[in-house]
Structure formats: C-alpha cells, structure tokens
Structure 1
C-alpha cells in the first residue's frame, strides 16, 4: 500500500522539503528513513499532524553528525535511547534509531539495543502507532503495517500488540485512555481485559513517569473525559487509593478553553477532592509533585477544613476573606466547583470574584499623616479598615478617615 499522495497532502511544503532532504542525506550514508508512529496514524486518520517522528534503519547518530553545525539545524537534545530532537529549517523533527526493547521486570525502563524496522514497530504500544511510511527515494510513501493498524483505525479501536504489553509498561494504560478519548475510539475487547488485569502493575511505575502521563492528559482538549474514563476503569485508584474522578467538576470543565495551567490545576484539584486530609502528602509523594502542584493539593485540604464555617448563615464577609486569604486561588475554585452546598459554593466564588481584590482606600502613609505612629499599629489599623470595607461599614475615604480618628481617640 502506498500513501504518498495522502502524505504529501497532509504535509506543509517546508515539512515535505525537510523530509526529502533528510532522506537524501541518509541514503548517501546508507541509512533508510521512515515516518513512524503517531505521525503515520495522524496522516492516515486525517488528524492534525503536530509531530514529525522519523526512524532510521541504521545509525541515526551518523545522520545527526552529518548536519550538526549547519546554520539552519539545531540539535536540541539527545537521549540514552538513541533519540534526537532536531530543528531543521524551522521544522521540529524527532529522530530515532530503530531498536528493540526488553524489560527486566514490570515497570522497569527498557533495555534498548539496535534493531530492525520490524522489531522497532513490534515494541510499540498500540497497533495504530505501529506503522511506518518509507521516505526512501525508490520506496517513497510505501506503508509498513505488520500489526494491522490500518484495520484498527477503520474499526476505531485501541489494541495492544501482545498480552504482556501493560505488564511491561503500565504507563500504556494511561496512554490507551488518552488515545481512546482523543480519537473517540474504544478499547478492543481483549485489550480492555488485559488493562483491567494489569492494574496492579501501575504501582510499579515511578512517580515521575506516572505524573508525566497525567500531565499529558491535562494538556488534551478532552482531558475531563480521560480522567472520567480513568476513574471508571479503576486506574486512578490504582495510582493512589484516594484519587477519584469528581464528576461535577469534570462536567463544568468540558467547555473550558484558554488557560491550560488553570485547567490542569482544576483537574488535579478535582482528583484529590476525595483524598483524606492526612493522605494528601502521600499523593504528593506518589506523583512527586512540583512545588506549585504540592501547594495546590495541600490548599485543597486547607479549604475543605474551613468549609463548615461557610455554612453559617451569619458569617461575615471579612471572616470569609480571612478564612481563604493566602490559599491557592485554584484550590478555592476547585472546591467551589465540587461543592454540593450551594451556599458554600457561592461564598467561595464571591471570595474569588470580589473579596480577595478588596483593599482599603487609605494606605500606610495616609494613616501616619492622620497621626498614627509608624510601626505595628499601622498594620493593625489597615487590617481593621479592610475588614470594615469588606463588611460594608465604610464606603468612602472620609468614612475610613473617620474610623482612624475614632481609633486614635481610644
């Protein structure tokens, strides 16, 4: 099967030109190049082509060294697995040597040795990612599909290549969910059974690798669907027993666009809503969270611990401010989205939308001009002015000045 017409239609002219140039250079070195993996899948599925993944049958390093130092080439990084990230004439390319992999034990990183094209495709996660297109001059566009990826694309299924796939690398469980939701595919029946059977192997995956897969999910437009599916399949609980798919938040986030950092925070916040306060640190440890995400999950626990005060009908606006001041705004928002008590949710949103932005009209210099001595008394009076402003007891500069003068007479 030859897919050259489809390939050339899907690639912008500069990308196509770069692929042809690299192929010609590789041929001169006795190396065959192939477009592989997700790049082939997306070409065949008419999906947006975001990545250019190339496999070299032979030493990719020789090809890299032949172009390193050119003004229009930037070698951004290399890995121990024989892969390189390049920018050639403004086009980002990921280049790897064909390899085969063996796993010493479930969850371990693979042992990698050079291999054939067929061995490289056989090591991949799913059939739809185990295809290659030749970039050679004489075989340009020839499709290699030894695992019937085209058939599975047409059927709309995610299928592993062998029964031990999830045991070898349980991060594939999260990837299966990501691809299923992104492409609107279903898990092939045997793959679904293997996934369920392999859930215990998730605990053997290192914190950094699990977190990386979750980060990739958070970047997806259908991240909420992915988290929901992970919850239903028991994957979240396999990562940490307290993690859940908080349905109310996930529904509200379906139409969210724009701020990806905020969306990631809210998704993470939704996942830890059911984690007991005393177990939050174990979530931080299990996912090896960075300082920002660590603050978020800790502050979710802090907000939850203060919600009972917001159930009081007579709680003052200044008290709401003091309860939530300094906590991560996205932790507050996450708790607002998950709140089942409408009154509590309204207080949390009022804090986010209004209360946290309120400031006195007078500042420290104004207070000292009115006769307040420099020192702690200035801060105390500013706090009282803020509380009065939050509670509607002062509205104007004159009101605040009058309050300060009364305090000075006491």
Structure 2
C-alpha cells in the first residue's frame, strides 16, 4: 500500500532526507499514527511523526537543511523545523507502563511493536516503514478505518489513561465513526476515573475538542456519555461581541453551558488556559448573580458604564449571553466602552479650578453628561458652561 499520495512535495523531501540518514546508520524508521491514518482516508496531512529505534540525536546530527530543532533528552523526542517550512516530530520508539490508573506512564526505549501497543486506538496504531516501504498494521486498524469504527487497542485502555475518553469522542465526531467502546467508556466515566487526572490534562483535551471543526458535536457527545453535564442550547450561543473563530470564545461557551459546579474548578484553576480568560470566568462565576441583578435595574448610560467598565471582553461576553441584560452589554460595548474625557486636572487648573474634591466632582459630572447626552467636545462644553457647573457643586 502506497500511503504517499496525500503527502505534498515538501513533506516528501523531509521524509526522504530522514530516510536516507536512517539507511546510512542502519536505523529503523516509521511514520506513525495520524499521518498514516489520514493518508489512508485521503485527508490532507498536517502532522508527521516519525519513530526510530535509536536516539533521534543521531539522525539530527546528520541532517542538513534544518532551520531549528528542539531535543528532549529525558524522553528522547525532538521537533525539527526544516528550511522548507515543514515540521517533523522525530521520536524514539518506546514502551509505556502505568504504575496505577490515571497516572502518567513510565517510559523506556523499545521497538515499534511496543510503541504501537501503547497507542490509544487501532486506527492510530498504523505505521509505515519508510526504509522497507511497507505498512505495519498489528491491530486491524485498516479494517476499522474501512468499517468506520473507533476501537481501543488493549484491555484497561481507558482506565489506565482516561484522556483517551476525550480523544475517543473527538475522533469519533471528526470522522463520523462509531464509538465501538461506548459502553465501556460510560462505565469509566461513572467510576469517576476522570478525577484521577490533573486539571491541566483535562482542559488540554477540552481545548483540543474546541479546535475541531465539529466542536459543538464533540460536546453534545460528551453530554450524552455523561462526561460533562451541559445545557446544549448554550453551545455556540450567538455572541455579537466576538467570532467563534476565537478558540477562547468556544471554551467560554462550554463554560457557560455547564449545568453543575463539578467542572468549574477545571476551567478556572488550571495552568493551561489564557490567564485573562480564566480570570473572567472566575469573576463571572462568583459575581454573576449580583452583576445581573444590578444590570436589570433601570439605569442611565453612566451607571451602566460604571458597572461594566471593570469587565474585559470575555466578561462582557458572559454577561451578554443573559437575554435579560444583553442589550445593555451590547450598548456599552459598541457605544460607551471607548468614551473618554478629553478634559483632565491640568485643563481644569488652566480654567482656575484648584486640585481637590471639586475637581473630581466636575470631571465626574462632565463624564455623566458625555455618556448620557452624547456631548462630543467636553472641553468646549466646560468652557461654555463652567459657571453653571461650579454652582451645582
């Protein structure tokens, strides 16, 4: 089977460069995982992983046309970017063992057979031997691709690494494959094995789901399996402040759709997500009732401005998803948010107003007028109405 029809010229150049170095050093080399899977499916190849039965540094030291590379001695893995723009992950074949379910595995160098066994699903356990030009399919991955079935490789797969539950949902949705192990996955979820992995690992998988074209379908399936308890109508809920091309907005939508507090800490207490996004989610979660109650009261533009000015874009989006106050948030975002006074203390000094409480009151009043009455030139307004303004202090 020729898998290279889906690879472009630049990708083939890099693969052949690695192949020739491996041949010269008598090293076995295999394209593994997603690149083989997607080539068989006729998909465009995005990520290329190559496994070798030697330390990658041996190959790197003999490669030319590299732009840069990163090498990790502990795991004997590397990421290489070539001058033609192609990036390859070059890693040593390895074996993984789990001391207990949910923990990160212990890793040791090994062969391609062990490396394929450690993988999550049969369709991702395919390898192509680039030295001998043959495909390796130890677990009937090609058959499962043809039958559109997503299957685990070995017993206890989901328990030993619960992140496979998230990836199973993602691949099943992406390719429209049957989730063959659905009942087993549901049992794993009921056993609360997900709680054995860190917030960072969970949120990283949720982030990957959000980056998929069918991201909403991913979370609907999460809901069906009992992994997340969500209100589906809030997934992809319309926002007039930002586009869903922004992955953070997708994450925000999932957060907003949560129906219980079980996953709140996962979203606000990890080290993976953007810190401003987490800050907004946390602030909204702990103040939303008070914030919405305040916004539902009759108010002028100035009062609205004072309530909403402390929120960043993500906080405004969260508030704006509440139908009862959304029009106020939209009004603030498009009409009020960027309004600033041209007048300042120095300008008031030039008009004979000394520093102190009166100066603050004048600036507050002129801001009210600018927000509520639409005054364009507050300096000109002050010059024309200073006497009347100071009488009201």
Output the TM-score relative to the length of structure 2. Answer: 0.87
- 1:170-181 equivalences in 2 (<5 Å): 170-181=162-173
State yes or no: 1:186 paired with 2:173: no
Q: Confirm or deny: 8 A CA contact 1:269 1:331 kept in the other structure.
A: no
CA contact (8 A) 1:265 1:330 kept: no
Residue aligning to 1:406: 388
Question: Deviations for 1:81-100, whole angstroms, at most 9, x for unmatched residues?
Answer: 32111123332110111112
Q: Which residue of 1 aligns with 2:125?
A: 130
TM-score by length of 1: 0.84
Instruction: Sort the Cα spacing of 1:228 and 1:102 in 2 relative to 1 into closer, same or farther, 3 A.
Output: same
Measure how far apart 1:177 and its partner are: 1.6
| Partner of residue 299, structure 1 | 283
Matches of 2:232 and 2:346, distance apart in 1? 48
Partner of 1:362: 343
Unpaired runs of at least 5, structure 2? none
C-alpha RMSD over aligned residues: 2.8
Q: Are 2:241 and 1:252 equivalent residues in the alignment?
A: no
- Residue number among 84, 94, 98 corresponding to 2:78 in the alignment: 84
Task: Answer whether contact 1:333 1:349 (CA < 8 A) is retained.
Answer: no
Corresponding residue SS for 1:95? strand
Match in the other structure for 2:295:
310
Change (3 A) 1:223 1:130: same
Cα gap change, 1:371/1:72 in structure 2, threshold over 3 Å: closer, same or farther? same
Give yes or no for the alignment of 1:221 onto 2:213: yes
Secondary structure, in 3 states, of the residue corresponding to 1:235?
coil
What is the distance in 2 between the residues matched to 1:97 and 1:106?
24
CA distance in 2, matches of 1:71, 1:380: 67
Contact 1:52 1:93 in 2 (8 A): yes
177 and 28 in structure 1: CA distance in 2 versus 1, 3 angstrom threshold: same
Runs of 4+ in 1 over 6 A off after TM superposition: none
Cα separation, partners in 2 of 1:222 and 1:353, compared to 1, 3 Å: farther
Over 3 Å counting, the alpha-carbon distance change for 1:288 and 1:16 in structure 2 is closer
CA contact (8 A) 2:204 2:272 kept: no
Cα 1:394–1:72 change in 2 (3 A) is closer
Q: Hey, what's the Cα distance between the residues in 1 that align with 2:20 and 2:376?
A: 75
Tell me, yes or no, if the aligned pair for 2:66 and 2:80 is still in contact at 8 Å: no
Q: Does 1:169 align with 2:151?
A: no
2:187 aligned with 1:197: yes
**Aligned mate of 2:58, from 32, 56, 62:** 62
The 8 Å contact of residues 210 and 250 in structure 2, kept in 1 or not, is answered as: yes
Cα distance in 2 for residues equivalent to 1:400 and 1:33: 77
